[in-house]
Structure 1
Amino acid sequence: MSVFSLLHHLAGNNAQDELFSSDTAIESWLAVERALAIAQGELGVISKEDSDAIVNAATINNIDQDALWVSAKNVGYPILGLVREISRNLPEGPDGRVHYGATTQDIMDSGLALQMARSIALLDKDLGKLGDRLAEQVKLYDTSIMAARTHAQQAVPTTFGATLATLLAQFNRHRERLAQAYPRIAIVSMFGAGGTSAAYGEKSREVRARVADLLDLELTNIPWHVDRDTLAEFGWLCTTITAACARLARNIVDLSRTEIGEVFEPYNPHRGASSTMPQKVNPISSELIIGLSGTAGSLASSLARIQEAGHERAAGEWQIEWQVIPQLAQIASSALQEAFVIVDGMRVDEQRMLANLELDGGLAMAEAQMIQLAEHMGREHAHDLLYAASTTARETKTVLATALIDVAKRQNLEAHIPDALVTAADYLGEAIDIAAEAVRTWHATPPLGHDLAPIDELAHDTHVAISESR
């Protein structure tokens, strides 16, 4: 019986679960074994008849999974049992050509590369869906004035579109990172026991290139059995994508506070309801994302450890990956899907945003008024005047404009105060342009663009001609 995770049960159940399931793991290993047999048959390392027989036998329906996992628990790894399950379905002769020259990690690493390639494609699809909807919201609220907040306090005026635009830009960079990382992560491993490919024979490079072609993986001629930086990169991408979603979630939690009340998650009956307080509408998607991000951060602490593997084979570091890599992929996808729920249906109170700018006596306009006065009296003098006015406004519970005039009179500076003080709408700077630029940049960034076949369909064709070596 698998361990029940409430977090995953509520926020998971997506395509990444299936991609990193036990069946898909087995299918990925079988795809590599089939590709190896096809390559060796085409290149004359084994006979074409033996190659065809191995390919036909290396299907999941021929694998006794109970026996496979019993063997794996005893051996410590699943590939010896897998090879014997394939061989069990072969007559004498071709049964001795299964897994010819390969080592366990060749099969498992190449299989994992197949899974991670598809995981990246799924994450890119999720990012694309989320970014497209977020871009619509950026455009919709590009002129909706609100208070920018620094250190959790009101700072200066901005627009809701501008604050969403920075998040859109971050998601855009993550999409670029996925595309850049893809060829480093979707890479074949076919190097034998010590990484020298000695057991593959004199055609080792040709075999490796053909396997890469058949599996649609990138080719390398340098072993990476203990070079786990690419897996760490994949794990960190998943972690930082989740963290970007958590940034959105944190803002939603803050902005939906009763005392602020500017932005809320989507509403439907009993969504976020309390078992005892009838009035509650809790930000449940945001809470799930924050929980996912905290979990991802903890798992990510192991990504440096997996790179410590020494010599030509890990002695325990490899096993860390088995746990954290699938989980991080699942977490990232879950966070993106919950973020889409928020962005797609979020409720925005533009009137409350404007009203909140008047809180604390409208002190969010202090910098704007300082810059307005600086033209006539210099920045430092204007800063001192507005600082004194802000202090007075707080102490006397008056608005900033009134306090400014009072302080200016006491200091004989009233001549420097213009008849019309700057308004929030006058002091948005590039906010509207920032929103437009983020939307433009998002739409200019192409999707990953990899049309990947299902893993269980890879390397079934035993009669394909030898393609040119990469």
Structure 2
Amino acid sequence: MSIQSRNPFSLLTHLAGDEAQLDIFSADSCIESWLATERALAIAQGEHAVISADDAAAIAAAARIDNIDRDSLWETSKNVGYPILGLVRQISGALPDGPNGRVHYGATTQDIMDTGLALQLARSLAALDWQLGELGDALAVQVEAHAGTVMPGRTHAQQAVPTTFGATLGTLLGQFTRHRERLQQAVPRIAVISLFGAGGTSAALGAKSADVRTRVADLLGLHDTDIPWHVDRDGIAEYGWLCATVAATCAKLARNIVDLSRTEIGEVFEPYNSHRGASSTMPQKVNPISSEAIIGLSQTAGALLSSLSRIQEAGHERSAGEWQIEWQVIPQLGVLAGSALSEALVIVTGMRVDADRMRANLDLDGGLVMAEAQMIQLAEALGRERAHDLLYTAATRARTSHRVLADTLREVAAEAGVAELLPAQLVTADDYLGEAKDIAASAVRGWHSGAAVDEDLPSIPQLARI
């Protein structure tokens, strides 16, 4: 049994793993990305007379995954420490004398692996963007639907002031809008060719090195660069940060759902079908399983992200161990982000909102959630500080005596000799929403005006046409 078929079992991946990212970072996709790079290199060198056109065509025909013995490739890689020497020898082994000596001409292992990685990351970003598009569209529908659904706003886990569920969701939609912008801005920094030879000078690639590099980038749909990045891994670290921060925003949604679905709150719940989130022993349980998965995915992504600061420390013209961190961490981060987005979409498209419970919870502790509103209402006559003191005393009395704030406020005002300054009608939650509805509307407008990453990319196996 090959080591490739004995990857550690991950229950989280089996329950919530994103298929698109798993495909992008699969072993065969990785090999295909290296082969596509070798084909493009040969074609570009043939066009610029670095090698003959016939040799280039022969190499492009031979550099196909059907010619690669995977088990032999990985066995050779274990001995060499890297996979490209074995890959090149298998390609060369499928060629006659002549072109077999022109494979990988002037390139180095990291050129092929980094360019292959850039192909994978470009597709990973496009897939994440597509998921963000689906999630944002679904979230925008919920924001609009609940723009006026009044609920308690909470700070430090306690009721603070009234807001709307649409405004709360709107802040999340704003984050996803910015994530989409970040992905779009990051593509030119991440989907970049690497073709500079052993020491980053392109010496072995010859006088046509820049022309060849530009053509390879064009053939592969990557961005060109004049500066080597063998040990400059800020772009790779940026990709990892994007994955982790997207997952973290999904986790913010998830944590709110977990909290709001608590029995004592009961305002928002995950989708329901028979036995979804069921317990093996407690028949009444409906656990927030998508939210729990997202939190686990996000926490894992955050832990992995910390390792990417180390990859940027690589010295001189080639790393000595820092590069290997990426091999383990980058594919996992892509899968974690895609998986978090998938589960977030499940929540958003099927969430169950109890607007009546939200309204009832405003009165849960005697209307203390209206303390700031009533303070502001009195401040015009009393000044802010005196009004604050009055409401503080009234709120404390309401809390300790389990009474209604409006009643204790009238008592405290009478004791302070300012009862006549109380308005006949104290402000209500519906009167004290501020810009909540506008926030929801603005979030939806911002989402629909945003641009997307170019998602019209051929899959890595489809690059075989090169």
Q: TM-score, normalised by structure 2?
A: 0.98
Conserved? CA contact 2:127–2:455, under 8 Å:
no
1:150 matched to 2:150: no
Conserved? CA contact 1:214–1:458, under 8 Å:
no
1:224 matched to 2:229: yes
Deviation digits for residues 385-430 of structure 1 (CA, Å, limit 9, x no counterpart): 0000001101211100000001111111101111100000000000
- Between the aligned partners of 2:291 and 2:59, the Cα distance in structure 1 is 50
1:354 matched to 2:359: yes
- Between the aligned partners of 2:420 and 2:18, the Cα distance in structure 1 is 67
- Between the aligned partners of 1:312 and 1:412, the Cα distance in structure 2 is 79
Conserved? CA contact 2:84–2:112, under 8 Å:
yes
- Between the aligned partners of 1:77 and 1:285, the Cα distance in structure 2 is 38
- Between the aligned partners of 1:430 and 1:263, the Cα distance in structure 2 is 22
- Between the aligned partners of 1:353 and 1:197, the Cα distance in structure 2 is 65
Q: 1:197 aligns with which of 202, 207, 213?
A: 202
> Aligned to 1:147, what secondary structure does the other structure show?
strand
Match runs of 1:274-285 below 5 Å: 274-285=279-290
- Between the aligned partners of 2:44 and 2:328, the Cα distance in structure 1 is 31
- Between the aligned partners of 2:416 and 2:20, the Cα distance in structure 1 is 68
Deviation at 1:453, TM superposition (A): 1.4
Q: 1:264 aligns with which of 249, 265, 269?
A: 269
Deviation at 1:8, TM superposition (A): 1.0
Deviation at 1:13, TM superposition (A): 4.2
Match runs of 1:66-215 below 5 Å: 66-215=71-220
Conserved? CA contact 2:107–2:198, under 8 Å:
yes
The one-letter code of the counterpart of 1:87 is S
- Between the aligned partners of 2:301 and 2:222, the Cα distance in structure 1 is 27
Deviation digits for residues 277-310 of structure 1 (CA, Å, limit 9, x no counterpart): 0000000000000000110011001010011110
Conserved? CA contact 1:145–1:353, under 8 Å:
yes
- What is residue 319 of structure 2 aligned with on the other side? 314
> Aligned to 1:361, what secondary structure does the other structure show?
coil
% of aligned pairs identical?
70
Q: 2:385 aligns with which of 380, 384, 395?
A: 380
The one-letter code of the counterpart of 1:33 is E
- Between the aligned partners of 1:448 and 1:51, the Cα distance in structure 2 is 33
The one-letter code of the counterpart of 1:132 is D
- Between the aligned partners of 1:214 and 1:324, the Cα distance in structure 2 is 28
Conserved? CA contact 1:252–1:265, under 8 Å:
yes
Conserved? CA contact 1:55–1:460, under 8 Å:
no
- What is residue 40 of structure 2 aligned with on the other side? 35
The one-letter code of the counterpart of 1:164 is L
Q: Number of matched residues?
A: 461
- Between the aligned partners of 2:342 and 2:455, the Cα distance in structure 1 is 21
Structure 2: which 5+ runs fail to align?
A: 1-5
- Between the aligned partners of 1:460 and 1:17, the Cα distance in structure 2 is 23
Deviation digits for residues 407-461 of structure 1 (CA, Å, limit 9, x no counterpart): 1111111011111000000000000000000000000002113411122232634
Change (3 A) 1:283 1:459: closer
> Aligned to 2:366, what secondary structure does the other structure show?
helix
- Between the aligned partners of 1:446 and 1:212, the Cα distance in structure 2 is 24
The one-letter code of the counterpart of 1:131 is G
- Between the aligned partners of 2:63 and 2:396, the Cα distance in structure 1 is 78
Deviation digits for residues 366-392 of structure 1 (CA, Å, limit 9, x no counterpart): 000001111111111111100000011
Conserved? CA contact 2:174–2:447, under 8 Å:
yes
Deviation digits for residues 155-214 of structure 1 (CA, Å, limit 9, x no counterpart): 000000000000000000000000000000000000000000000011000000000000
Conserved? CA contact 1:186–1:218, under 8 Å:
yes
- What is residue 466 of structure 1 aligned with on the other side? none
The one-letter code of the counterpart of 2:212 is V
> Aligned to 1:402, what secondary structure does the other structure show?
helix
> Aligned to 2:308, what secondary structure does the other structure show?
coil
Deviation at 1:234, TM superposition (A): 0.1
- What is residue 337 of structure 1 aligned with on the other side? 342
Deviation at 1:151, TM superposition (A): 0.1
- What is residue 8 of structure 1 aligned with on the other side? 13
- Between the aligned partners of 1:13 and 1:378, the Cα distance in structure 2 is 57
Q: 1:287 aligns with which of 284, 288, 292?
A: 292
- Between the aligned partners of 2:368 and 2:463, the Cα distance in structure 1 is 64
- Between the aligned partners of 1:330 and 1:39, the Cα distance in structure 2 is 33
Q: 1:238 aligns with which of 229, 243, 251?
A: 243
Conserved? CA contact 1:63–1:82, under 8 Å:
yes
- Between the aligned partners of 1:459 and 1:38, the Cα distance in structure 2 is 13
Deviation digits for residues 73-124 of structure 1 (CA, Å, limit 9, x no counterpart): 1000000000001001000000000000000000000000000000000000
- What is residue 22 of structure 1 aligned with on the other side? 27
Change (3 A) 1:343 1:144: same
> Aligned to 1:355, what secondary structure does the other structure show?
helix
The one-letter code of the counterpart of 1:134 is L
The one-letter code of the counterpart of 1:236 is W
Deviation digits for residues 337-373 of structure 1 (CA, Å, limit 9, x no counterpart): 0000000000000000010000111100000000111
Conserved? CA contact 1:38–1:459, under 8 Å:
no
- Between the aligned partners of 2:430 and 2:465, the Cα distance in structure 1 is 64
Structure 1: which 5+ runs fail to align?
A: 462-470
- Between the aligned partners of 2:135 and 2:342, the Cα distance in structure 1 is 8
> Aligned to 2:115, what secondary structure does the other structure show?
helix
- Between the aligned partners of 1:332 and 1:29, the Cα distance in structure 2 is 24
